[in-house]
Amino acid sequence: MKLEIGNFHVRDVVFGARTAFIDGILSINKEEALALICEDEHITAADIIIARPGESKRIVPVKEAIEPRCKLDGSPLFPGVTSSDLVSCEGGVTHALKNCSVLAVGKHWGSFGDGVIDMSGEGANLTYYSGLINICLVADTDELFEQREQQKKNHAIRWAAHKLAEYLGEAVRALTPESVETFELPPLSRRDAGVMQLPGVVYVMQIQSQMEELGYNDLLYGWDANRTLPTFMHPNEILNGAVIGGSFMPCSSKWSTYDMQNCPMIKELYGQHGKTINFLGVIMSNLNVALEQKQRAALFVAQMARSLGADSAVLAEEGYGNPDADFIACFNALEDAGVKTVGITNECTGRDGRSQPLVALSAKANAIVSCGNVSQLLELPPMDEVIGELASIGRDGLSGGWEGDEKLGPSVRPDGSIIIENNSMFCGDQVIGWSRKTMLDF
């Protein structure tokens, strides 16, 4: 199947009398957009605020990011989520508003999986999203049962953001895109002889699925990933809305829906297909709690890779800590199956950088790309404006924030500056492929 993504490059976002895209400017009818969002009875307050690169703005607590898009065949942007209709995401024509994202932001309450985005200053270098024009949906809900819980599903706000992204995408439905990206992989049995002679490479994505209660995990066609086994997927499905991000995961380790829609590793593997590799596709795996579950998933992944004829694999985990055991189990199983594997992950080496980087290690995992230390301390200056609520960093159990520390004091200081762990930077480590971080020798 062939997927065509028509790109419209957004130069600015403004509010206006109607929602439209003209000469690079996305205009939003705010009243109309908010009316759509507030159709959900659980949304009790909502606003839309624009944050542009370089502005002195801090956004927190950020829960999710989505690229505004529409599908020209009229099918839902996220089947099983923005509509109950279940249709394949493998092919077709999709129009996308580039250089911008819709952010789901709490008006007050944050959670363990929420994070921070600084649009300027030192913090802007620590997350991909500081370089986008962010359309911030700042909302509150009546989900009082989880308001003071550290873990939150954030269902109403996250779903409202997906709905807003779909609404904004309609602005370019009838327009001619500035550029078109084409993604097409023939079936494995129908590839030409030249491609078949190249090394077969599979991409293994270990998405977040640790929470056994439904509603916290990443979703596949609206289905909770905790209820899945590893499965073979066409890479186009990931790029075209089959997978959305969940609410559970220390924030720098998360993969947002925007990340899935634009997955840099998938695009890089596509770019090398037929040149240096035979890109076989994606094995979508999961992250589990029990050891038996981890071992079972690793066996499934290795069997699929071997059956597909993979010579090598790129293995990426969404998370750290407990998921490291899944990562290493999968690494071992792939290597034992004769599939040479390169792993991509972040590390948790403590604030001083001296601890063991992963919970589990193996001599077979001898090719790992590190995307940084989640525990690295960051001190960031105040911003002129906060979108959301700054107090949530310390009050609500954000994975890199705290109310008080004997040596460091509170995460949020009286002057508006903050001290946090890298854990709190929204999708900051970008194991999925955006990472700008490099290693230094001392």
Residue 439 lies in a domain: no
Q: What value, to the nearest 5°, has the Cα angle with vertex 252 and ends 247 and 253?
A: 70
Q: Which pLDDT value is given to residue 353?
A: 87
Q: Is 34 helix (H, G, I), strand (E, B) or coil?
A: helix
DSSP 212: S
* Cα gap 332→15, rounded to integer Å: 53
Residue 346 lies in a domain: yes
End-to-end CA distance of the chain: 49
Asked if the peptide bond before residue 61 counts as cis, ω within 30 degrees of 0, the response is yes
**Phi, psi (rounded to 5 degrees) for 248:** -105, 120
Element housing 21 (H / E) = strand 20-22
The H-assigned helical ranges of 107-192 are 155-169
Q: Is 127 helix (H, G, I), strand (E, B) or coil?
A: coil
Residue 360 lies in a domain: yes
Residue 47 lies in a domain: yes
Residue 432 lies in a domain: no
**Phi, psi (rounded to 5 degrees) for 238:** -65, -40
User: Position 28: which residue type?
Assistant: I
Write out the chain's pLDDT in tens, 442 residues.
899 999 999 999 999 999 999 999 999 999 999 999 999 999 999 999 999 999 999 999 999 999 999 999 999 999 999 998 999 999 999 999 999 999 999 999 999 999 999 999 999 999 999 999 999 999 999 999 998 899 999 999 999 999 999 999 999 999 999 999 999 999 999 999 999 999 999 999 999 999 999 999 999 999 999 999 999 999 999 999 999 999 999 999 999 999 999 999 999 999 999 999 999 999 999 999 999 999 999 999 999 999 999 999 999 999 999 999 999 999 999 999 999 999 999 999 999 888 999 999 999 999 999 999 999 999 999 999 999 999 999 999 999 999 999 999 999 999 999 999 999 999 999 999 988 777 666 5
Residue 429 lies in a domain: no
Strand order through the sheet with 12-15: 12-15, 25-28, 20-22
Pairing of strands 25-28, 20-22: antiparallel
List, as one string, the DSSP characters of 252-300: GG---HHHHHT-HHHHHHHHHBTTTBEEEEEEEEE--SSHHHHHHHHHH
Q: Which pLDDT value is given to residue 442?
A: 57
User: Position 283: which residue type?
Assistant: I
Is pTM beyond 0.75? Reply is yes
**Contact assessment for residue 105 and residue 59, using Cβ atoms and an 8 Å cutoff:** yes
Q: Which pLDDT value is given to residue 11?
A: 98
Domain of residue 50 covers 2-183+190-424
**Strand runs (DSSP E) across 29-91, as ranges?**
43-51, 57-66, 69-71
What domain count does the chain have? Answer: 1
**Phi, psi (rounded to 5 degrees) for 398:** -55, 140
User: Position 378: which residue type?
Assistant: L
**Contact assessment for residue 159 and residue 63, using Cβ atoms and an 8 Å cutoff:** no
Residue 441 lies in a domain: no
Residue 268 lies in a domain: yes
